Structure 1
Amino acid sequence: MRILVTGGAGFIGSALVRHLIQNTEHEVLNLDKLTYAGNLESLQSIASDSRYEFVKADIVDQATVSTVLARFQPQAIMHLAAESHVDRSIDGPSDFIQTNIVGTYSLLEATRAYWHDLPEAQRQAFRFHHISTDEVYGDLHGVDDLFTETTPYAPSSPYSASKAASDHLVRAWQRTYGLPVLITNCSNNYGPFHFPEKLIPLVILNALAGKPLPVYGNGLQVRDWLYVEDHARALFKVVTEGVVGETYNIGGHNEQKNIDVVQGICSLLEELAPQKPQGVVHYADLITFVQDRPGHDLRYAIDAGKIERELGWVPEETFTSGLRKTVQWYLENLEWCRRVQDGSYQGERLGSTDIKDLIA
């Protein structure tokens, strides 16, 4: 099968592309705009594989996407391209509206035209898989409540509102035009190659540098943590075995308070990186509580029972095992981190193809 992945140079997208190339026989075209969060160095291990191709393009550019679809002829599209950082969406929501809403619309329209012209058997087999977030559901107020696939949407930030809008567009394109879609909503991902502005890598790298470890508010916000490689396996399950029109929630069964995540990282670093920066006695001494973000949801938690019952997927990593693997990976890949932090990673192309090369 030929699978087109949008946003395949991002954190979750690159994990998915690596999984597809390393563990399946499928061909993959990775279409990514390469914003600050797109890092081709995350794909070095598979970049030279004959079944993998990268095209630098923006999903907002419908004509470009149509050209790529016509040439590659995918049997499935897995749509991960998105702006995804809540703090950035609060500071500047425009990019989130453009990429997550307008971009998804443009991709849907290009896909609809491509799908419409396929032979009937290929039309029936085609899948459009839209990857979204549990943040569209808003906040859980009870300690036992869980997000299900029928939980009403109540987004709190410009980011989650833009993702909610994109989910609605995808469902509308199925109901109105018959496009065969699947939607997944996932909990907080963590693991290797995570951009250092996110909580877990930020805490690891700040601790190693002897810098403050910022924790919003009182640190009691609860998130369900999903190891990114478990997520990649789930996404492949859904696109190959999921029922058209269905939504599947993907969670790690790992609810943790933010403060406990930070303290857990500090404990692991005490063991795995005992040589501390000058002046640091205990890594946990660096924990610093900062002003909470506006509209900060207190608790997210996923009921992932449907994907387990219907598709047989369960996460392989516990939070304990996944966090240890993650901390160890960062300790062993500090050069990758340095190149992200100083921006030099953005100069890498690694054999990418621009759309002008396709048209020439």
Structure 2
Amino acid sequence: MKKLLVTGSSGLVGSEVCKHFHNLGWKIYGLDNNQRAVFFGEKGDTRWNQKRLENTLEKFHHIELDIRDREGVLKMVKEVAPDAIVHTAAQPSHDRAAAIPFDDFDTNAVGTFNLLEATRQYSTDIPFVHMSTNKVYGDAPNNIPMVELETRWDYADETYHTGIPETFTIDQSKHSLFGASKVAADISVQEYGRYFNMPTCVLRGGCLTGPSHSGVELHGFLSYLVKCNLDGTRYTVFGYKGKQVRDNIHSYDISRFIEEFIKAPRIAEVYNLGGGRENTCSILEAFKIAEKYSGKPMNYVYSDKNREGDHICYYSDLRKMKAHYPNWDITKSLDDTIREIVEAWQQRLEA
């Protein structure tokens, strides 16, 4: 039986990957130490998701370990002896990083390096998939000419009609400290692939979402927006008239792509992983879809101050992903995704 090691297994993407590969017959080793609760407080706690995995996945084994523990990581990888590794553990907040810069860098950059070196010492043949972020591009996408529409911004330059490609610059722009730590991890994963000829993959995620997300104000755009809509919490829109645009991809479709990569891995590949143009929405547009499924009006306030280094408009060009893995495509629409998030939060708030 094949063995998969998943870091950040109690998080949104990690838990979906655990479930997906378990259904494919793999034995799952999920590494998580609920660091999200440390970063974001009680509302970021993911123990509920860990318990869900332990209670529903027969071949799931939880590992309580911090990826900053170098010796622990080196020992753990050799003991598990996985056939593939999916690394989703991170300090995930653009905003939170500035308040905890050492924790952010040590988790995102050093933690990833610990895992890469542990993998190299164990085997240079197994696939290593890393969840990166579109924040590695910093605010450079804001330099693309924009057009302001009624409810959103969009690219005025036809070059980017299908979105941001993987060749877009990551240099000489404002990233946030989170973006900088993720750049370090991103480049390290590529370098281990090229230098040691390892099958590594960097997935530069847009808005990764789904019903298992423990969304908080500083991370988890759609999940937090829906939660605020349902419980009446006032949501703050930060700048850009609420017309800033993101592409949203369901964690199920992320897991499906990871499956395709692991089946046919490549050396040091990079993909922009998002919902693409068809799954884009602005904050104002997301309000309307959430209201449609919840039946409740959105309670929000507007702040003129945008987040530092934030994107005005960002969506992923999916053509490279589809060309390399033609069996993969988006299966979950934006409407379906938001409906699932509404239903999941309704259940959790009533529990």
TM range, normalised to the smaller chain?
A: 0.7 to 0.9
Task: Give the superposition deviation at 1:211.
Answer: 2.8
What SS does structure 2 have at the residue aligned with 1:47? helix
What SS does structure 2 have at the residue aligned with 1:224? strand
The worse-fitting range, judged by mean Cα deviation, of 318-327 and 144-153 is: 144-153
Task: Give the superposition deviation at 1:43.
Answer: 4.1
CA distance, structure 1, for counterparts of residue 200 and residue 230 of structure 2 = 44
Distance 1:186 1:294, change over 3 A: closer
CA distance, structure 1, for counterparts of residue 290 and residue 77 of structure 2 = 43
**Match in the other structure for 1:257:** 282
- Letter in structure 2 aligned against 1:287: Y
- Letter in structure 2 aligned against 1:325: E
**Match in the other structure for 2:24:** 24
**Match in the other structure for 1:148:** 165
Once the two structures are superposed, the pairs formed by residues 199-218 of structure 1 within 5 Å of their partners are 199-217=221-239, 218=241
Q: Is the counterpart of residue 56 in structure 1 residue 64 in structure 2? A: yes
Distance 1:295 1:310, change over 3 A: closer
What SS does structure 2 have at the residue aligned with 1:226? strand
Q: Is the counterpart of residue 318 in structure 1 residue 333 in structure 2? A: yes
Task: Give the superposition deviation at 1:335.
Answer: 4.8
**Match in the other structure for 2:301:** 288
Partner deviation per Cα, 1:4-60 (whole Å, 9 max, x = no partner): 111111121111112121x21111111113211461322444414442101110112
**Match in the other structure for 2:40:** none
Distance 1:15 1:247, change over 3 A: same
Q: 1:39 aligns with which of 41, 46, 56?
A: 46
CA distance, structure 1, for counterparts of residue 192 and residue 20 of structure 2 = 28
CA distance, structure 1, for counterparts of residue 273 and residue 309 of structure 2 = 24
What SS does structure 1 have at the residue aligned with 2:242? coil
Distance 1:91 1:219, change over 3 A: farther
Once the two structures are superposed, the pairs formed by residues 142-291 of structure 1 within 5 Å of their partners are 142=145, 143=155, 144=158, 145=160, 146-154=163-171, 156-197=175-216, 198-217=220-239, 218-253=241-276, 254-270=279-295, 283-284=297-298, 286-290=299-303, 291=305
What SS does structure 2 have at the residue aligned with 1:33? coil
Once the two structures are superposed, the pairs formed by residues 82-97 of structure 1 within 5 Å of their partners are 82-97=90-105
Instruction: Please give the TM-score of this superposition, normalised by the length of structure 1.
Output: 0.82
The worse-fitting range, judged by mean Cα deviation, of 176-185 and 77-86 is: 176-185
What SS does structure 2 have at the residue aligned with 1:54? strand
- Letter in structure 1 aligned against 2:11: G
- Letter in structure 1 aligned against 2:323: R
Q: Is the counterpart of residue 305 in structure 1 residue 319 in structure 2? A: yes
- Count of residues paired in the alignment: 315
What SS does structure 1 have at the residue aligned with 2:314? coil
Partner deviation per Cα, 1:95-124 (whole Å, 9 max, x = no partner): 111100111111112221112xxxxxxx54
Contact 2:229 2:290 in 1 (8 A): no
The worse-fitting range, judged by mean Cα deviation, of 94-103 and 233-242 is: 233-242
CA distance, structure 2, for counterparts of residue 17 and residue 335 of structure 1 = 26
Instruction: Please give the TM-score of this superposition, normalised by the length of structure 2.
Output: 0.84
User: Unpaired segments of 5 or more residues in structure 2?
Assistant: 38-43, 146-154
What SS does structure 1 have at the residue aligned with 2:313? coil
- Letter in structure 1 aligned against 2:12: F
- Letter in structure 2 aligned against 1:163: K
CA distance, structure 2, for counterparts of residue 158 and residue 70 of structure 1 = 32
CA distance, structure 2, for counterparts of residue 75 and residue 317 of structure 1 = 28
Once the two structures are superposed, the pairs formed by residues 43-122 of structure 1 within 5 Å of their partners are 43-48=50-55, 49-115=57-123
- Letter in structure 1 aligned against 2:4: I
Contact 1:215 1:259 in 2 (8 A): no
Contact 2:199 2:266 in 1 (8 A): no
What SS does structure 1 have at the residue aligned with 2:54? coil
Identity %: 27
**Match in the other structure for 1:120:** none
Distance 1:107 1:255, change over 3 A: same
CA distance, structure 2, for counterparts of residue 24 and residue 109 of structure 1 = 28
Task: Give the superposition deviation at 1:149.
Answer: 2.0
Task: Give the superposition deviation at 1:232.
Answer: 1.7
User: Unpaired segments of 5 or more residues in structure 1?
Assistant: 116-122, 275-282, 337-360
What SS does structure 1 have at the residue aligned with 2:189? helix
Considering only CA atoms, is the larger Rg found in Structure 1 or Structure 2? Answer: 1
Distance 1:38 1:241, change over 3 A: farther
**Match in the other structure for 1:347:** none
CA distance, structure 2, for counterparts of residue 15 and residue 134 of structure 1 = 20
- Letter in structure 2 aligned against 1:307: M
The worse-fitting range, judged by mean Cα deviation, of 3-12 and 170-179 is: 170-179
